[in-house]
Amino acid sequence: TTGVPGLDNLLGGGLPEFSFNLIAGTPGSGKTTLAHQMMFSLAAPDAKALYFTVLGEPALKMLRYQQQFAFFDNTKINESIRFVNLSADLLDGDLERVLLRITEEVKSYAPKFVFVDSFRSVARSAKTGTQGESELQRFVQQLGMQLTTWQATSFLIGEYVLPESEASPLFTVADGIVWLFQSLHRNSMLRKIQVVKMRGQAHAPGLHSFRIGEEGIR
């Protein structure tokens, strides 16, 4: 179970174990909050979580914001949850180096849950041109296979808009895709969530409303 009220029903019962998932949406739509809410709910001493941050906001700044939510549990950090910053590994766009670092950290920490935020930053750092696209596709496939081999349930968080799904290899490899939308209607923020894909499960189709409050996402 995800620990997010209402989400398990949309997914068709909850998260498939060892699945390779994408949490996508526009900036500010709630992607990182959703990832953190699931992580704090799922992480335990015998089911550790590893959270990779890439080129976005520093982990300390991100945690300071997440502390406002009731799901935040400071006692789990460095006990059941570990944060790793990959910014230095991405400076030259060497995806093999990034994959090696992720592999080393996962083997060392042996997590049951792995998060990469923001995966879009990894894609943008790839070399341009046909060679870069080939390297990115190989990186995504290798990462997916590695995470499956390690028997970890994994989540890649990224800023995307729907048309991009046709051009990215990530959308083909992913077992599950959860999309978050937001729009301004008069003075109110309307938030919607859609389970675009969830292999092996009868997920609920269409767009569903959600709110972000003190308890987190509902």
pTM of the model as a whole: 0.88
The per-residue pLDDT for 161 is 64
The per-residue pLDDT for 148 is 73
Return per-residue pLDDT of the chain as tens, 218 residues: 999 999 999 999 999 999 999 999 988 899 999 999 999 999 999 999 999 987 656 677 888 889 999 999 999 999 999 999 888 777 766 788 888 999 999 999 999 999 998 766 666 666 554 455 677 777 877 887 787 788 899 998 987 766 555 556 677 788 999 999 998 878 888 999 999 999 999 999 999 999 999 999 99
Burial 62-87 (b: 16+ CB within 10 A, else e): bbeebeebebbeeebbeebbbbbebe
- CA dihedral 161→163→168→172, nearest 10 degrees, is 100
The per-residue pLDDT for 120 is 64
Q: Which helix (H) or strand (E) holds 136?
A: helix 129-149
Q: Contact at 8 Å (CB) between 175 and 143? A: no
The per-residue pLDDT for 56 is 57
* Residue in the block written with tokens 């309307």: 190
The per-residue pLDDT for 199 is 93
The per-residue pLDDT for 39 is 97
CA geometry: angle at 27 spanning 21 and 32, to 5°? 45
